[in-house]
Structure 1
């Protein structure tokens, strides 16, 4: 049935042409923008995902810049700490040379001062964009990642780089919580008093009876010619003094042989054995002030007193410990991540830096318990001796004591040799820490770069247009558009054909 009111063919042709034009417009948009989804109306879910990922890409590009800045800053600090290590190693060579008595120590000291000034210059100059990682104690955070959780929340992750203070600052002793219980002094005074062991020869001796006294691993033998025990004691006294052992002397009182030791940091082993036909005896009856003994061997204590540090207490930044010798006190304030070993060595440097006459120090660790101790010897008149501690201070610089190294005297050269090892260890530790941080930053930067590329690739797979398919589709739609136009034109001619029925 033909109708002049309704042209079904034209309506079908029009709808077809509209659909073709819509598809053609979308295809042209894909070709011009390069995206198959360029707005939310095309596919809201995919568009939303792509926009979130694009924001992450922009964030990671900023993180790459942050990592580059951080890597450069740490590289400067690593270079500085390695340079300081080299300079301290050179200084050690000078200090070793100063141990000889026939060298010009004043000229060596001049070289040491020059090296020390160069170290100070390196510490001051080791900054990048105003940030110096070898001065101060505050950690530095470098933005390293943006972590997106499944619920959409985003948190920033940082690589924390610990500053390694290479300054010579003394620090500030705190007034916080008492730490006195973490250190114990072995005595209330340090003095040049010798420690002793007394060997008593007694009972009845006869000719050809023998005795052996061992001192510092050296055996001394005596064969009796009579019964007098004083002869035995006198013989060993003369023999021991004749050995010329440093810090070791012997004296006699009746049949008692007293062996005295003023060795600062070394015990003295003694032993006695006798072989008699009668009842002759030889025993250690007094050792280090303790009498009424019956020993065949023992150790005479070292003269030095000590501060024994806790094996369980933690060391926190700002924890200060103070050793009092006589009327003066010497302190060290711990930095981040330090231990009782660092405290003991820091106090040693503080005491040595004061240049005290007759006072020498040594740091040791007990091989069985792991306990660290600071030993202090006084070759002068008696001085009070104590240890205390308080939290809440400002940490001492990692190279504290460097400014006080003085090899112009034999005592100064001796103490400098121990202390330079501590300073070198500090510089090596700083260089190692910076090297580790530098490696981590480089690894993270490489990962962020690859992650950014992966995100970009993922976004592309979601929204980018397939240009080969779009090109083929464009040509097909252009042909369809021409045919649709022709079909609509033909359909529009149908009402004209009805007129022929009324002619």
Structure 2
């Protein structure tokens, strides 16, 4: 139907033209921008994801920059550590040379001073972007919460949010010098020294200070010596007679109750005994001190006296001529350790043997020379403790134990009274008969209660064995204080010290090398991750330009046809108007 009021053909053509134009405009925008989804109106879900991923892409790119900065920082520290290791090797070689007799140590010391200055210069100059890992300023370098730095490693997005992952670097393992001490080339302030007297320090004979791994007090058999005078010639009826007593209690030990007088045995030496022991060819004559010791040893053993005779050798293993000893075997079943000869009666010379006696000591008493010390976090002390022939028990303590026991927070044992409290807390449960008393500000006595332990002599001991500290060996000297002119007696100590710090420097360089390797791997991963993000974003929102351009050409053609269709539709009404003219 043809109508003057409504041109249905024009309306249809116009609607089609509008649709084509809208599609053409969208396609034109894609061709112009390169995006299939350029704003939220195009596809809200994909646009949101792509926008978030673009933000993450920038963050990961920033992480890559941070990793490059970290790599440079680590490289500087590594070069400084590597140079220090080389200098320490030269330093040690010069110390070894200085130990040679006749060398001019003053000239070597000048070389050592130059090497020390060079190490200081390396440590102070090994800085990048304001960070220096070889020369630090931490109040407590062993506090892991303080003495560390963190390197940005990666950017992570999770359902709970975003986060930065970091690589923590403990600078206590790298710093050569620290403002408050504890650097690799400084004395370690964690040094527990003698552990309040649990261990001792001594010179090993080569001017090298050594800390003991045991600290024992032990006693030996009671004995006395005499010098032989002879020869002794026995005729029929001639004898040497005496009483020998073993293992009497020593009143000086303060033992409670009655004192045991020991076991006494009468001894007689005659011609028959001499010829039996030395052979008939002796004809009753004891010619030498070794013959006399043999005769005495025989009669003391056969009589069940509990004593024996002996001869001696010196430190060169040469015999000590004419010296004879009498000692208790401590097999009497008594608690004491004593040997004594009384009531000598001789019709010939006694051969130098006279009334003599000896008490052995009680070995269950030890004095600890207390000096204050501190147990830092991460330090653990281990030792075994024993008394007499009882099995030893193992013990450990650390800063937590010290603080809990003493009500402290710094791990310090500052007085002999605190050391007494600590030892009681460790030992009293297993050793209730060991008395532990701080007798002065510098002395702690440990001894068994005489009411429970009356023994003395061989087999009695008290003390510590297997003493160890988990962080040792540690530097106990300052590298910059080494002076072979002022302290020639410490040359071997210096050599050992430099060897220890060299190993620590090597460990530090190994740590830096492994850190460099990890940073390189993480940097490569960050680059691959940004590439993957770019590809992912492109797949979501990028336009297919081949498809878009082809579609644009088709839509432009459709636009032209639409315009012509609209023109034709409008021309129909013009024909009607002409009829009415």
In structure 2, distance between residues paired with 1:321 and 1:208: 69
In structure 2, distance between residues paired with 1:418 and 1:372: 19
Aligned counterpart, 1:154: 162
Which of 141, 144, 167 pairs up with 2:153? 144
For the structure 1 residues 195 and 313, does the alpha-carbon distance in structure 2 shift closer, same or farther, using more than 3 Å as the test? closer
Aligned counterpart, 1:414: 492
| Matches for 1:242-261 after TM superposition, within 5 Å | 242-243=316-317, 254-255=325-326
Quote the offset at 1:196 in angstroms: 8.1
Indicate yes or no: 2:100 matched with 1:100.
yes
Q: RMSD across aligned C-alpha pairs, in angstroms?
A: 4.7
Indicate yes or no: 2:545 matched with 1:467.
yes
Could you say what secondary structure the match of 1:144 adopts? strand
Which of 494, 502, 505 pairs up with 1:424? 502
Is 2:80–2:126's contact at 8 Å kept on the other side of the alignment? yes
- Indicate the larger mover: 410-419 or 125-134: 410-419
Could you say what secondary structure the match of 2:13 adopts? helix
For the structure 1 residues 24 and 400, does the alpha-carbon distance in structure 2 shift closer, same or farther, using more than 3 Å as the test? farther
For the structure 1 residues 404 and 30, does the alpha-carbon distance in structure 2 shift closer, same or farther, using more than 3 Å as the test? same
State the Cα deviation string for residues 404-423 of structure 1 (Å, max 9, x = none).
Answer: 22233542102112211221
Aligned counterpart, 1:451: 529
Is 2:289–2:323's contact at 8 Å kept on the other side of the alignment? no
Could you say what secondary structure the match of 1:458 adopts? helix
For the structure 1 residues 52 and 411, does the alpha-carbon distance in structure 2 shift closer, same or farther, using more than 3 Å as the test? same
For the structure 1 residues 2 and 372, does the alpha-carbon distance in structure 2 shift closer, same or farther, using more than 3 Å as the test? closer
| Matches for 1:309-458 after TM superposition, within 5 Å | 310-311=381-382, 312-314=396-398, 371=469, 401-408=478-485, 409-458=487-536
Quote the offset at 1:497 in angstroms: 2.8
For the structure 1 residues 191 and 31, does the alpha-carbon distance in structure 2 shift closer, same or farther, using more than 3 Å as the test? closer
| Matches for 1:14-413 after TM superposition, within 5 Å | 14-136=14-136, 137=141, 138-151=147-160, 153-163=161-171, 164-167=174-177, 171=181, 183-186=195-198, 200=223, 224-227=290-293, 235-236=311-312, 239-243=313-317, 254-255=325-326, 290=362, 310-311=381-382, 312-314=396-398, 371=469, 401-408=478-485, 409-413=487-491
Is 2:98–2:105's contact at 8 Å kept on the other side of the alignment? yes
TM-score (norm 1): 0.63
For the structure 1 residues 125 and 180, does the alpha-carbon distance in structure 2 shift closer, same or farther, using more than 3 Å as the test? closer
Q: Could you say which structure has the larger radius of gyration?
A: 2
Aligned counterpart, 2:564: 486
| Matches for 1:6-17 after TM superposition, within 5 Å | 6-17=6-17
Quote the offset at 1:501 in angstroms: 5.1
Could you say what secondary structure the match of 2:47 adopts? helix
Is 1:67–1:143's contact at 8 Å kept on the other side of the alignment? yes
Could you say what secondary structure the match of 1:242 adopts? coil
Aligned counterpart, 1:496: 574
State the Cα deviation string for residues 309-329 of structure 1 (Å, max 9, x = none).
Answer: 62454569x9687999xxxxx
Could you say what secondary structure the match of 1:124 adopts? helix
Is 2:399–2:411's contact at 8 Å kept on the other side of the alignment? no
Could you say what secondary structure the match of 2:152 adopts? strand
Tell me the number of residue pairs that the alignment of Structure 1 and Structure 2 aligns.
378
Structure 1: runs of 5+ lacking an equivalent: 173-178, 211-221, 258-284, 293-300, 325-365, 376-395
Could you say what secondary structure the match of 2:4 adopts? coil
In structure 2, distance between residues paired with 1:133 and 1:24: 63
TM-score (norm 2): 0.55
Quote the offset at 1:123 in angstroms: 0.4
In structure 1, distance between residues paired with 2:152 and 2:322: 73
For the structure 1 residues 131 and 181, does the alpha-carbon distance in structure 2 shift closer, same or farther, using more than 3 Å as the test? closer
Could you say what secondary structure the match of 1:18 adopts? helix
Aligned counterpart, 1:477: 555
State the Cα deviation string for residues 71-102 of structure 1 (Å, max 9, x = none).
Answer: 11111111111211121121111222223323
